Amino acid sequence: MKKIIILLVVFACWGCYDDDLVIVEDEQNSLHTASELTYLLRGVSSHNTTFDQFLDGSECFSIEFPYQVQLPDNSIILIENEGDLHSLADENHLSFEFLYPLQIKTADYVQHQIDHKNQHLNLLEKCNNGEMFKDHIDCAELLFPIQLSVSDINHQRFSEIELVNAEELYHFLTDLSEDIRFKINYPVDLFTFVNHHSEVHHNQDLLSLILNASRENCKVIE
List, as one string, the DSSP characters of the chain.
-HHHHHHHHHHHHHHHHHHHHHHHH-TTT-B-TT-HHHHHHHHHHS----TTHHHH--SSEEEPSSEEEE-TTS-EEEE-SHHHHHHHHHTT----EEESPEEEEETTS-EEEE-SHHHHHHHHHHHHTT-S-----TTEEE-S-EEEEEEETTTTEEEEEEE-SHHHHHHHHHT--TTEEEEE-S-EEEEETT--EEEE-SHHHHHHHHHHHHHHHS----
Per-residue pLDDT tens for 33-50?
999 999 999 999 999 998
Question: Where in the chain are the domains?
Answer: 29-46+137-217, 53-128
- What is the 3-state secondary structure of 167-185? HHHHHHHHCCCCCEEEEEC
Rounded to 5°, angle at Cα 38 from 149 and 151:
25
Residue 26's pLDDT band (boundaries 50, 70, 90)?
A: low
- Per-residue pLDDT at 22 exceeds 50: no
Q: What is the per-residue pLDDT for 18? A: 40
pTM: 0.80
- Between CA 53 and CA 68 the distance in angstroms is 16
Residues 6+ positions from 138 with CB-CB distance below 8 Å? 48, 50, 193, 218, 219
- Per-residue pLDDT at 6 exceeds 50: no
- Per-residue pLDDT at 217 exceeds 70: no
Q: What is the per-residue pLDDT for 218? A: 65
Decide: 160 and 150 in contact? Cβ < 8 Å: yes
- Per-residue pLDDT at 110 exceeds 90: yes
Mean pLDDT confidence for 100-116: 95
Residues 6+ positions from 111 with CB-CB distance below 8 Å? 64, 103, 104, 105
Determine phi and psi for 54, rounding to 5 degrees: -65, -20
Q: What is the per-residue pLDDT for 174? A: 95
Residue 216's pLDDT band (boundaries 50, 70, 90)?
A: low
Mean pLDDT confidence for 16-26: 43
- Per-residue pLDDT at 199 exceeds 70: yes
Residue 203's pLDDT band (boundaries 50, 70, 90)?
A: very high
Residue 13's pLDDT band (boundaries 50, 70, 90)?
A: very low
